[in-house]
Amino acid sequence: MKKNHQTLRIASAVLLILGVIAYLAISGAQSNKSYYVTISELQAMGRKAYTRHLRVSGNVAPGTVERNGTNVHFVLVEEGRNLTVNYTGDDPPPDTFKDNAQALAIGTLGRDGVFHATQLQAKCASKYAPANKPAVAPGPSTASLKAPAPLQAVR
């Protein structure tokens, strides 16, 4: 009888530990999950937008970037819709973050209507586009080039 009681206690402890591990794994996965949405989708989400970790992309509106150390306040524009973003991450914004650059803000939407980003990614399409090569006038063909005359000794 004592053996059955001890087995029951061990089984209960194992089930409790497995339950805690499962809970931590599920809640951790939920907190790290982020949804990619456009600005128009974000504005159409309603109350759900306040409770989810989101990724929002758009172009940085010219003249809206206000830097204060590593913090940046700016406006994203996408399909005629605007979203005010306040970035308060640990790292400074990337070098490619400037007016008209494509940016991806990762964070949450506050009830004040401002998107509070903790991560910021940016790229400048013009920086990575191939350079336009100027038109080169055709030169002489190699068939028309003559070999240099042999050098003669001067006396």
On whether the CB atoms of residues 86 and 107 are closer than 8 A, the answer is no
Global pTM reads 0.58
Structure tokens at 16: 């409790």
Nearest partner of 48 among 108, 116, 118, judged by Cα: 108
Contact 81, 110 (CB under 8 A): no
DSSP state of 144: G
Average pLDDT for runs of 10 along the chain of length 155: 81 90 75 73 83 88 88 90 89 84 89 90 60 52 54 61
Which pLDDT score, from 0 to 100, does residue 114 have? 92
Burial of 97: CB neighbours in 10 Å, binned 0-12, 13-18, 19+: buried
Identify residue 53 by its one-letter amino acid code: H
Tell me the domain boundaries of the chain.
1-33, 34-127
pLDDT reported for residue 17: 92
Are the beta carbons of 108 and 116 closer than 8 angstroms? yes
**Predicted pLDDT at 44:** 85
What pLDDT is recorded for position 73? 93
pLDDT score at 1: 58
DSSP letter (8 states) at residue 148: P
Q: What angle do CA 92, 94, 95 make, to 5 degrees?
A: 115
CATH of domain 34-127: 2.40.50.140
